[in-house]
Structures are given as structure tokens and as C-alpha cells.
Amino acid sequence: MTTTRGRIAIRLAVIFGLLTSAGAASAQTPDRVSVTGGRIVGERQDGVRVFRGVPYAAAPVGPLRWRDPRPAPRWTGERPATRFAPACLQTGTSMPGEPPSPSAEDCLYLNVWAPIADGSPKPVIVWFPGGGLANGSTSIPLYDGAALARRGAVVVTVAYRLGALGFLAHPALSAESPDHASGNYGLMDQVAALEWVKANAAAFGGDPARVTIAGQSAGATSVSILMASPRAKGLFQRAIGQSGGLFEPTALAPQYQLARAEADGAALMTRLGATTLDEMRALPADRLLAGAGGVTHPVIEPRLLPEAPFEVFRAGRHSDVPLLVGYNAEEARSLTDVAEVTAANFNEKLAARWGRLPPPLPAPYAFTTDDQARTARLDFERDLRFGWDIRTWAMLQAEHGRSPVYLYRFERRPPWLAGSVRADWGASHFADLWYMFDHLDPADGNWTATDRVLADRMAEAWVAFAAIGDPNGRGGAWAPFTLADPKAMRLGETPAMGDLPEEPNFRAFDAVYDSLRGPR
């Protein structure tokens, strides 16, 4: 005989079962959207609309290898958009310990995470992954945009051509171009993706008039180039750069000039035993990547980047939009092995890595002991590769732009799991990504309440910035960076505005770089 309490329990169990079934069904509910090219079918997961593997350009294969991206061909019927497309062909991985992603030359796809539509257009964040323009994938879990989408942003992650497939310059390629230019195909992919976003953002509930370009490392370098590029003007209204940028004098990187890049491309063709572009386009793609050498960098050329970004910003010809930039306090710990550096061999090891440097550059990094020498080397690498570019980017915007710029210094040392590849990283390159994407997975670290609060604040600030051009969302305390008050938001245990500890080091770089550029 069933008691009243038993009947209630059964009824609750039935109701709970129905709710659970409905929740499971909703997690797999198809979501249909019409975009340029045709209709796609994504899905709803945990209150977010997700579309993976959406083509934004034609496959850059065969005769389209080393050509500017073409529109994706239309398709009939409904195209599934529930799986990531292969990453662009690459060597290595973008992050130590990251498993390689499946890759292919047919790779110009993007992914979208969007809030459930409520009738109000949402800001759009377009994310370009890092990886030194040689590797990187949109499918790694860290770039999942669901947490930012739940805060009210449409998040788009974009794959673009890498290595020699994305950046080869060659006299014959320039000759067949109406702009007499070659190289930068990966950056042209990014422009094509932004054009696609402008045309299709509204289909996902996004606002095409509030697009933020964002990236970390080489993704941030891409953002600095897009801000300087006439081809990208009008395609975005905000910009975020994390630990990357391209502002050094071109005298330090002559290979960025078109003529030198073309010569390097011709040398690659010779090494590969090809004599014509048709032969190069017929080569297996993996042979191109394996023999590319240093053909993995932007090129200053007429169609996308006619001038170095520093000169464009200094002349005020850049896209003058609100800017959020920053670097990490211990950038180099995840990238540079200093185990063999000592006080006695510091200069020798530095020269082996960077060649002969002007003495004023390493001068601020004083040391006496071996431990101090290792710290000095890490600090130098941080400033040379990331810190100086970010601070200079902020200064150029503050001096030559009208839109505000916000600067941060990420200082939190994540509680990485002992024994993992990240155990000794500290506040290194990559560390900020776990926080701004709000991905504090227990598989990665022993996260505390302090970490979760910081992740919440950073994710909220990034979405607020995308929405209004100001990171001050719920009770923020960010102040714009200005030449009169050059302070940064120091993102540590207790975020607060403060001075940059590296400013004396940066001034040494300023003096050397200004001497290489010549008078204004």
C-alpha cells in the first residue's frame, strides 16, 4: 500500500525525470540560422547557442593557394554546424602541453557562441588565436566562448592560414596580384572573417556596429596590424590586445619588407626544387611547412599593410577605436628555458638567442648571482617580446588617438596543479586566458575563491568593453591610460590601478628604438 509520502515522492521523481529529460533534450536542441552561403544547423547547449565549423571563405587549396580569400561557395539544404573544422595546417602547437588539433589546408572556418536571443542586439567579440603565426587552433577548450556568451556577448573564433601557407611572399605572387603585393594571406583571411561577421552578426543576435577584434600573442599582433590596415577600416569598433603587438622599428626586422620577404620566398622555392608557381601550388602542403624556415611573419606590402604599425599610429591614420591592452608579469616563464643561464654566461646565452644587441637594451637588468641572472633573463624576454609593445601601443593610442585606451598588467600566479606542464609558469604567457574566458577547470588548477572572483571580474570587464568601449561593468575601477597619468589596472589578488614596475626598462628600449627610427 502506497503512503501519502510515497505518492508525493513518486510524483516528485516523475516531475524531476521529466525536467531532466527536457534539460537533456534542450542541450541538444537544433538551432537553425541563415547566413551567407546558406542555412546552418547548430545546437543549444547550457543556455548558449553554438555553431561550429562555419565556412567564411572558400578552401584555399589548389589554384587558390596563396591567393586572397574568396567567398565560400553556397550550399543547398541545411549544413551541420556542430563540429569543429580542422585547424589550419601547422607545425607544433601554440601552447606547451597542448595536444595537437587535427589540421588541413581547407581550414577557413569560424565558430560562434551566442546568447539565447532576447530581442536586443549583443556586442560581438571576434577572437584570433595566437601561436606565432605558425600554429594555433580554435578548437582547444580554452577558447570556448560559452562563459562570455552567457554574459551577453556573441563570441566568434576564427581560423586563418599559418606559416608559409599564410605568409609566403614571392616576386611571381606579387606580379599576379593587382596590388603588386604578396604575403599576409593569413591576415587577409582575418579581414574576410570580419566582413563575414559584419554581414551575418545579426543572424546570431549580434550587433554589426559593435564588433571587437581581440587576440592573444600572435592574435594580439594581428589586432595591432588590423588597427593599422586600411583594408580593415570600418570592420570593427573596439580592439583588445593581450601580450602581443608589432611596433618595433623595421630596421630590426628587415625581413618584414616586401623585397626581402620576396627574396626569402624565392629561396624557399629553390630549396623545394620548384621553378614555377604552378609547381609550388602542386606541392604537398606539409612539405611547404617543413621547409619554410623563417617564412612566418607579416609583410609590409601595399594591399594590407602599406606602412609599419608604429608609423601609422604615430601619424594618426590607424583605426581610432577604444582599446584594451595588457601583458603578464611573468610572460617568459612558459616560453624560455633559463635552467642553464648563469651570471657568468648571461651575455653569451643572450647573444646566442638574439644576436648582438645594443648595450643599453640589457643594461637595466642587473644581477650578481646565478638566480638573479635567470630572473634578469626572464624579465628581459618579457619586456622585449611583449611588455614594451603593449605599453607602446597604449602610449601611441593615448597620444595620437581620440578614443580611450585601457592598460592592464596581469599579476595573479594561478594555482596550477603540481606536476603539470604549467606547475612553474606563474603569471606567464597564456595565464590570463583562463581568467578572461572564465575557464577555471579543476583539471588545470586548484582554484580558490580569489581566482574565481578575478575570473568573474575579468570576463565581465571584457564583455563590458565590447559592449560600451569601457571595461567598467559591475562596479569596475578601471581608469583610462593617459600620458599625464600612465597607470595600469594591476590584475592580482586585489585588482587596483597602479604604476608599471617595468617603466624604467621600457625607457631604455625607447631610447634605442628611437635612435633606429630617426627624427620624427
| DSSP collapsed to 3 states, 291-306 | CCCCCCCCCEECCCEC
Give residue 374's pLDDT: 98
- Say how many domains are in the chain: 1
What sign results for the dihedral spanned by CA atoms 30, 33, 34, 35?
A: negative
Residue 453 lies in a domain: no
| 429 given a catalytic annotation | yes
Mean pLDDT calculated for residue range 233-250: 97
Single out the catalytic residue among 170, 297, 318, 429.
Answer: 429
Distance CA 424, CA 417 (A): 9
Nearest CA to 60 out of 168, 133, 134 is that of: 168
Length of the chain: 520
How much is the average pLDDT of 293-313?
A: 94
Look at residues 304, 296, 317, 309 and name the one whose alpha carbon lies nearest to residue 179: 304
Buried b (16+ CB within 10 A) or exposed e, 23-62: eeeeeeeebebebebeebebbbbeebbbbbbbbbbbbbee
Q: Binning pLDDT at 50, 70 and 90, where does residue 294 land?
A: confident
Catalytic residue among 331, 411, 460, 502: 331
The whole-number pLDDT of residue 290 equals 82
Residue 419 lies in a domain: no
Give 475's pLDDT tier (boundaries 50, 70, 90).
low
Question: Rounded mean pLDDT of 245-256?
Answer: 93
CB neighbours of residue 194 within 10 Å: 24
Classify residue 92: in a domain, yes or no: yes
**Predicted local confidence at residue 137, as pLDDT:** 96
- Whether residue 371 is predicted with pLDDT greater than 70 in this model: the reply is yes
Helix intervals (H) in 469-502: none
CA count, 13 A, side-chain hemisphere, 230:
10
Q: What is the CATH number of the domain that holds 194?
A: 3.40.50.1820
Q: How confident is the model at residue 6 (pLDDT cuts 50, 70, 90)?
A: very low
Residues 82-89, mean pLDDT to the nearest whole number: 97
| Active-site entry in 217, 222, 224, 243 | 217
Mean pLDDT of 400-427: 97
281-318 burial, b if ≥16 CB within 10 A, otherwise e? beeebeebbeebeebbbbbbbebbbbbbbbbbbbeeeb
Q: Is the pLDDT reported for residue 378 higher than 90?
A: yes
CA distance 242 to 112: 21
According to the model, what pLDDT value does residue 292 have?
Answer: 75
Helix 346-354 crosses helix 370-382 at what angle (to 10 degrees)? 20
Task: Give the torsion sign (CA, 483, 490, 156, 430).
Answer: positive
Task: Identify whether 179 is part of a domain.
Answer: yes
- pLDDT, one tens digit per residue, over 426-457 is 999 999 999 999 999 999 999 999 999 999 99
- Residue 498 predicted with pLDDT over 50: yes
Strand partners, 408: 326, 489
Note whether 360 and 506 are within 8 A (CB): no
Give yes or no for a contact between 162 and 185, defined as CB atoms under 8 angstroms apart.
Answer: no
Q: Average of pLDDT values for 39-47?
A: 95
Q: Is 248 part of a structural domain of the chain?
A: yes
Percentage of the chain surpassing pLDDT 90?
A: 87
100's grid cell:
595537437
Question: pLDDT confidence of 293, banded at 50, 70, 90?
Answer: confident
Q: Which residues contact 477 (CB under 8 A, 6 or more apart)?
A: 489, 495, 496, 497
Confidence of residue 185 (pLDDT cuts 50, 70, 90): very high
Asked if the structure places residue 444 within a domain, the reply is no
Residue 262 annotated in active site: no
Backbone angles phi, psi at 225, to 5 degrees: -70, -45
d(CA 389, CA 397): 12
Per-residue model confidence (pLDDT) at position 91: 87
For residue 28, pLDDT over 80 is answered with: no
**Residue 180 is a catalytic residue:** no
Q: Is 123:154 a contact under the CB 8 Å cutoff? A: yes
With a cut of 70, say whether residue 2 has pLDDT above it. Answer: no
Per-residue pLDDT at 469 exceeds 50: yes
pLDDT of residue 473: 79
Angle at 139 between CA 137 and CA 140, to 5 degrees: 85
Q: Is pLDDT above 90 for 178?
A: yes
Contacts of 519 (CB under 8 A, 6+ apart): none
Question: Does the pLDDT at position 1 exceed 60?
Answer: no
Cα 341 to Cα 380: distance, rounded to the nearest angstrom: 13
What cell does 126 get?
571576434
pLDDT of res. 8: 35
CA 308 to chain centre: 20
- For residue range 45-82, what is the model confidence (pLDDT) as tens digits? 999 999 999 999 999 999 999 999 999 999 999 999 99
Average pLDDT over residues 99-108: 94
Range of the domain at 235: 29-321
Average pLDDT score, the chain:
93
Is residue 424 in some structural domain?
Answer: no
One-letter amino acid of 169: A
How sure is the predictor about 118, in pLDDT bands with cuts at 50, 70 and 90?
A: confident
Q: How far is CA 180 from CA 189, 228, 338, 348, in A?
A: 18, 19, 44, 42
The answer to whether 111 touches 53, Cβ cutoff 8 Å, is yes
Is residue 173 within 8 A of residue 188, CB to CB? The reply is no
Joined together, the cell numbers standing for residue 10 give: 513518486
Q: Taking residues 407-423, report their average pLDDT.
A: 96
Nearest to 335 by CA among 451, 460, 441, 216: 216
Reported confidence tier of residue 5, pLDDT bands at 50, 70, 90:
very low
- Which of 249, 386, 254 minimizes the C-alpha distance to 310? 249
Specify if 56 maps to a domain: yes
Which pLDDT score is estimated for 117?
A: 82
Dihedral of CA atoms 304, 310, 313, 318 in degrees, nearest 10, equals 10
Backbone dihedral region for residue 56 (phi beyond 0: left; psi -120 to 50: alpha; all else: beta): alpha
pLDDT score for 81: 98
Q: Alpha helices of 214-292 — where are they, by DSSP H? A: 218-228, 258-271, 277-282, 285-290
- Element containing residue 51 per DSSP (H, E): strand 48-55
